[in-house]
Structure 1
Amino acid sequence: MMMNLFSVFDPSSSMNYSMNWISSIYILFFIPSMFWFIPSRWNFFFMMILKFLIKEFKVLMNLKMNIMSILIYVSLFMIIMLNNFMGLFPYIFTSSAHMTMSLSLSLVLWMSYMLFGWIKNSNNMFSHLVPHGTPGILMPFMVLIESISNIIRPGTLAVRLSANMIAGHLLMTLISSTGVSLSMILLMLMLLSQSILIILELSVSVIQAYVFSVLSTLYSSEVN
């Protein structure tokens, strides 16, 4: 029995085990097989997305990184997008709506950027703390502001992803909970609004994955 609206995001099953995280493995079914003689339409669509992402990330990183770095962000985009997409199916746990997953991804990336930047490019990291042309009297304040903005980056990445996924699911739950007491005309309007919200959630699933991966790419380009 659902005690509150946030119970749908509770990572526990009826057997008192956290088996709902297995839903993240379902994304393997959406990865197209490369062993057919004739590629399918889904294979062509998948490869078209990959080519577009590789081209975008090359522009963002100014061709300073190798292909392995680009594959990291492409893989990050596909993991987040497919997890967001799987969360739209009924009775499937939305793992990307939890801070456990989103904060783990963002914190690992941010820590790797910071360690690499301060160990390899210390002068570049110090120069980022004080923007060019800052008056001398404002330099201590700019160092403090830039330091705080760097520290909160993993939190903002994680909260942005989780909050957007939670907001859409809660809105659909709130609208559908009033369907029992509605008339036929209002019920049809509610179903129409639910259909529009599902289309919106599909776009949000792709947009949030793209924003997460692009911001991670921009943060890495600052370190180099």
Structure 2
Amino acid sequence: MLSVIQNPPRTTLPIVGSQDFFPVRRVYCVGRNYAAHAREMGADPDREPPFFFMKPADALQVVGAEPTPHSYPSKTSNYHFEVEMVAALSGGGTDIPVEAALELVYGYAVGLDMTRRDLQDEAKKMSRPWDTGKAADSSAPIGALHPVSLIGHPTTGAITLSVDGTVKQKGDLGDLIWSVAEQIAYLSSYFALQPGDLIFTGTPSGVGPVERGQRMVAAVEGLGAITLDVV
């Protein structure tokens, strides 16, 4: 039997130092995982259980070494940046112990969780899902993957975002409330994680709006930077 429509291509990520690519299955995002960001969003930064939401895999926008156009989405007038380190899994399972979780990580990348903040805020007030706020087309820009075999597991280092040369977000990976290993272990108690899954691991404080004509540069120490021109 044949598919009645053409099968859509699977999103893939380039890999630093390799001609191979990384196929993406699911995109998980953790909310409020830096204490200062939790406070700026009106939440308690204590170690309450983490919470997650998803973006569709085809919301990823792969960004290369050169500045890349990024489309301002429809239905919003308050479009926010959130820089994050992204972990990419090459293994999976359920109820994964924290001690074994990092063995499943293939590599890390710089990512952005772009958000229609006005739509997200409206959804929060009405106790509705966040999909229209979080899952816009191209709402997950991401750079090339840096394999663990080359860089290890980053646990400290600057994570920043600038707009037109002005730093808006600045934090340190050491300030994560829930570590990458803890996030993997917790997620695996709810979902069967599989190779190809991505985890956006949280954003530091300073999130804010960006407008058409502005340039964003997102960077994580040891993982380089990605540059996007909002159009």
Shorter chain as normaliser: what TM range?
A: under 0.3
TM-score (norm 2): 0.23
Q: Which has the higher strand share?
A: 2
TM-score (norm 1): 0.24
